[in-house]
Each structure stands twice: as structure tokens, then as C-alpha cells.
Structure 1
């Protein structure tokens, strides 16, 4: 008896399997071409969009937030950018005798990030030395119960929330400025090669209650896609256990890991926290938030399409429908996810326009240059 064997792709023996293989091969080639085209154009945009900023012969004493993650990457971004723009940067933290350091080194400017852990007597002592002081607030308007107690102690106040400007001016601050964070291209940038883990849609961030209430009804539709969710408190979801490896719980990702997630996702969802959540906020005034969060700029810096909930001041930074996409309901989010996952060209063009706008206007170089133009003596 003769036994005939066939290879795994012998079309005469396995015609259905062969057809499936050919279809999968064609899809793989198409996806590979699309990704290569996107990455090539993204890297061309990075290469040609090089902003330059003036150099200042000043010495900056920089006081870090002192809070570790997720603030330490912000500190790194500010420090590195300051070092590229000024003659000298001395870095210290709120636990150190900041005023003594200032008295010894005589910097031109003391800049504190966040400032909530820096003793006010230290700030006062620095000002008594005749040294200009500035604070860049990181979490407005969510902790205004505390920030309102410190802002009047600085010469210059910078806030990432436009709705806090008038509040601080009413308190007597004479120099208050709107300065959102931006993208730090060392941390967030388009990768040249594919990342190992790829997802259709992703979200990273803490599971504040407004996010739980928003996502919970549509989790079945989201998990039907190749979704990745990362952050703390996501076990608040009623059916958390059923989502398996779709959720990575309780770990802060490094900037490199976050950049990989952004680059490895076709769509990044952005959903801002609520200004009314008393379980985590210290915002007795219930001051609403109008300005986009730092993640808005970081996602755009990677050449990835962003779907974000609408903020009143978003259009100042990106044109909705051209450089970023927005949603106002769960149904609209699902519809736009479906559309952009099936319309590669439209998704790609919006993402690339956002990348170019970010590099042209919204990096830490742009922000720090603006800060120094106001606060440097």
C-alpha cells in the first residue's frame, strides 16, 4: 500500500487551508506595508521638524516634585530641556535646605515643579535673597485646595489649567501664566521598527471612577477588539476577573514602556479625569477642567491616532477631525473606533498631522522657552 503525504500548503490536498493561508499572507503583506509606510513618513517628519530655541546665560536652581512616579519623568523632561537652554542647572529636592543652596550658589532663578512638598519658609528665604522664584503646577484644578495656599509665595505661577488663571489672580498673584505640559521627544517618538506587542486599541491611566462608569458598559465591545488597558484600580470594574490579560493592573509604566504601547497601538483612547471626584481630588470649589492633559501631547508625539474626550481648550492645540479625534459618548467612541480601524489612510493622516503639529508647537522645548522668556531675570 502506498501512502501519499502532503505538505501543509499543498493546494491539491488542502484547498481550503491553502486559500486561508494565501488570504492571511496577503493581509500580512498589506499590514506590513501600511506600518512601514506610516513609520517611514513619521520618521521623515521628525527629521525635518527641528525647532531651535535661544540660549540664556543664566543659572537655574530646579526643585523637583519629590513625588517619584508619575512625576519623575516630568522632572526629567524639564531638567534635560533646561540644560539645553541655560548655562547651568542645579537640581535639588524639597527635602533639602533649598534656601541654603540658593544662598551659596546664587542662581538667577529658582523653579519648582509642583511645589506642594516644598516648605514655604524655604521659598520665602530664597526670595529674600533677591532670587526670582517660579512654580509650575502639575495637577490643576484637582488640588486647588492646596495650590491656593502656595501660589502667592512665588514671583511667577505657571499652570497647565486655563481655568485656574483667574482664581490665582484673584488671590493676588500678579504673574500667572497658562503653560500646559508638552511632549518630551526623548521619551515619546515614533519608533523605526515594529514593537513586539501590537494592539488595535489601548488605554493607560488610573481607573478614576468617571473612567469606570464610562468604560464598564462598553467593555464587551472593547474587549472584542485587541485592547490593552494599563493602570491602577482597574479591579474596580465589576467584571474585572473576566477580562484576563486585557488589563495590566497596578503598575506604573516607564516612559520607554509607554512609548512602546503608544507605538504598538493603532488607536490610543484618552479619557480625562473628573474634577468632581471627591475620593481623589482636593477641589472644594469644583473648578472645572478645560485644558488637555499631558497624555494628549505624548500620544500625538508618537504618530498614533488619538481618540479623546472633548475639552473646551483642546482646539487651541489640535484641530479635531484633522489632527486629533474626539468623542462625547460611549456610542460615538465605538463608532469612531470601528471607522478608523477599517480606514487606514484616514487614521494614518490624522496621526501624522498630529505628530507634525506636536513637534512644531508642543514640545518641552516650546514650553520651557516660554517659561524662561517670562521668569528669567
Structure 2
């Protein structure tokens, strides 16, 4: 089949912009990528004058590409760069439409994109789907992210550099948790775009940053490989007990032992405490960290089990095969 994959610009934090096309191509499909990023200085000026007008302009380019290439499927990552009218125009050409929304549960797709217009709508949380159905989104499916085995893989000969590592954006709850660990004498390496002016505990945490800016997927894998424990704190830790983030898979794919706050979907994806160790409350972290730093063999066995699981069940190729299977089923 021929796909046109729409990506929402080259954002630092959206690596699936690249992973989705790669996975579809690996399955033998033709993929044309349409990027909503401004391409030149004229488009930069257009965007500066009016963001909505710029998106209309880019979507006209998209429709021209669709008329020229006549794809079987239009696949939009996030889908917030298209309006309901654009999706209806694409569907009028007898082209199947799909979108993958990755911000559940802290931002639901129907709040930012015309979710109900798509033939297939995928989200990273199973437990938000009733909210979508109330908004008229009927063809909704659970599709978490995964790994790219060519990138996410263990170090051939592991050499530890960090006891505990946290990699991710700044959120007040994350800052509170990390500051509390440092106060208790736990050394936590931190990587991510944390601005001091946003932080309450900058004086405490500043010495622990190994990179205080955006990081590439390659940099993230490297530090995961060098860490005894990767700490995963969902940004919506205090909001709800469901929805899974990319770190759940990326850390395991890097061969790392992971401590992660418990979310309902995780038990469907991993075997808790045998492939990923879950905590209910941040208050549990100091004891868990101390225990697993002292039990190397147990920690490394869990990390290996997690790696075997993601390679077997949680790759981007498998995610795209799920999409293809649903499309094939709908055609029958």
C-alpha cells in the first residue's frame, strides 16, 4: 500500500515522526512524508504573520500531494495540523484516514484535533476511550509507542556511569521527587530542558544535571545504557492512574532496569516486578533504589527480561502491523 504520513514539524520530542515511516517501509509499504514544518524563509514569514493561515497553506500543499500521489492511506501523527474539513476532503477521494494521538491522558485528542473524522483513531491510553466515544469518536484503538531495535538496544559490554538517571522535561512533581531523593543522599543524574527560572529547587538539583537542554534519541539511549536505574515519573503522576509514556519502552529497549510509577495499562504490556518495577507512591523510591543498587544480579535480570519483552512485543514495526491488520480487516 501507499501511505502519506503527515508529521507536525521536526519537534525535538516527537521521534515517532521518523519511526512511523521507517516501520511502514520495513513492512514493504511505500511511504511519502509530508512535513508541516516551514521549509524556507518565505514560509517562516507566513507562519509569523498568521499560524492558522500558515496551516491552511500547508494543508493545501498536502491536498495537492494527495491528488498527485493517490495514496491508499493518509496517516497523521497527532492530527492537530489538519482541520475536520481537510480530513473530509481526503476521505471524499476514497482514501482511508488514520491518526495516532500520543498525549493522553493529560491532553485528550478531541480537544486539539478532529478525532471523530478519522476512519481509525489511535491513542496511547486505553482508559480514555469512553471520553472519546462521548465526543463521537467511534473507531478508537489503544496503540502505545514502542522501540526501534536498531537504536534502542543494550550496550555490548555495560559500563555504569550513573546510579540513578532521570531523563525528561521539567514538571513540578518531577522536581519535587528528585529534590527529595537528593536530600536523602541519593545521587540522581538529570537530563532535560529544565530552566532554572521555573524551578523551586534549582540550588539543590543544579549540580546533578548532565545535560540541561533537549537531547536526541541517541543521547538518551547512551545514558540509559550507562545507568543502573532509570527512574520514570509520568508527567500526569498526580492526575490519573492510566496512560503510558515512551520512556516505559525506551528504557527497557536500552537494556536498563526501570523504576516506574504504576499505571493501569502497564500490566497489559509488561509483567510487573519481573520486567519493570512499579511504585505506587514516590515515598517508596528511596527504599527501592537502595535495594536494587545493592542487588546487582536481581536488577540486571529484571532489565534483561524487560529487554526481551520489548523486542518480542513492543517495536514500532509491530505497532504499524497492528494498524495494517485493522485496515485489512475493515476492507474485508
Point out 4+ residue stretches in structure 1 off by more than 6 angstroms: none
Corresponding residue of 2:220: 258
Query: Aligned to 2:297, what secondary structure does the other structure show?
Result: helix
From 191, 194, 219, give the equivalent of 2:182: 219
Offset at residue 106 of structure 1 (A): 0.9
Distance 1:271 1:254 in 2: 19
Corresponding residue of 1:360: 312
Normalising by the residue count of structure 1, what TM-score does the alignment of the two structures yield?
0.76
From 294, 298, 304, give the equivalent of 1:342: 294
Count of residues in correspondence between the two structures:
306
Corresponding residue of 1:41: none
C-alpha spacing 1:337/1:165, structure 2 compared with 1 (3 Å): same
Q: Contact 1:81/1:365 (CA < 8 Å) preserved in 2?
A: yes
Corresponding residue of 2:13: 70
Distance 1:337 1:218 in 2: 10
Distance 1:240 1:250 in 2: 12
Query: Aligned to 1:86, what secondary structure does the other structure show?
Result: coil
Offset at residue 177 of structure 1 (A): 0.5
Distance 1:292 1:232 in 2: 21
Corresponding residue of 1:232: 193
Offset at residue 226 of structure 1 (A): 4.1
Distance 1:249 1:234 in 2: 12
Distance 2:167 2:140 in 1: 31
Q: Which runs of 5+ in 2 are unaligned?
A: 37-57
Distance 1:81 1:261 in 2: 25
Q: Contact 1:141/1:275 (CA < 8 Å) preserved in 2?
A: no
Corresponding residue of 1:311: 263
Q: Confirm or deny that 1:189 pairs with 2:153.
A: yes
Offset at residue 167 of structure 1 (A): 1.8
Distance 1:130 1:203 in 2: 46
C-alpha spacing 1:208/1:239, structure 2 compared with 1 (3 Å): closer
C-alpha spacing 1:210/1:356, structure 2 compared with 1 (3 Å): same
* Residues 339-372 of structure 1: per-residue CA shift (max 9 Å, x gap): 1111111001111111111111111111110011
From 241, 248, 258, give the equivalent of 1:296: 248
Corresponding residue of 1:30: none
Q: Which runs of 5+ in 1 are unaligned?
A: 1-57, 277-285
Distance 2:195 2:173 in 1: 12
Query: Aligned to 1:89, what secondary structure does the other structure show?
Result: strand
Corresponding residue of 2:40: none
- The residue correspondences of 1:277-292 to structure 2 (distance < 5 A) are 288=240, 290-292=242-244
Corresponding residue of 2:47: none
Q: Confirm or deny that 1:105 pairs with 2:48.
A: no
Corresponding residue of 1:89: 31
Corresponding residue of 1:270: 232
Bigger-Rg structure (1/2) = 1
Offset at residue 244 of structure 1 (A): 4.1
Offset at residue 74 of structure 1 (A): 1.2
Offset at residue 149 of structure 1 (A): 4.8
C-alpha spacing 1:208/1:175, structure 2 compared with 1 (3 Å): same
Normalising by the residue count of structure 2, what TM-score does the alignment of the two structures yield?
0.86
C-alpha spacing 1:139/1:67, structure 2 compared with 1 (3 Å): farther
Corresponding residue of 2:46: none
* Residues 240-296 of structure 1: per-residue CA shift (max 9 Å, x gap): 2344441146411101100001000000000001277xxxxxxxxx7x451221110
CA RMSD of aligned residues (A): 2.1
Q: Contact 1:161/1:289 (CA < 8 Å) preserved in 2?
A: no
Corresponding residue of 1:61: 4
Distance 1:268 1:89 in 2: 35
Offset at residue 130 of structure 1 (A): 0.7
From 163, 172, 178, give the equivalent of 2:136: 172
C-alpha spacing 1:330/1:142, structure 2 compared with 1 (3 Å): closer
Corresponding residue of 1:114: 78
C-alpha spacing 1:266/1:177, structure 2 compared with 1 (3 Å): same
Distance 1:189 1:145 in 2: 31
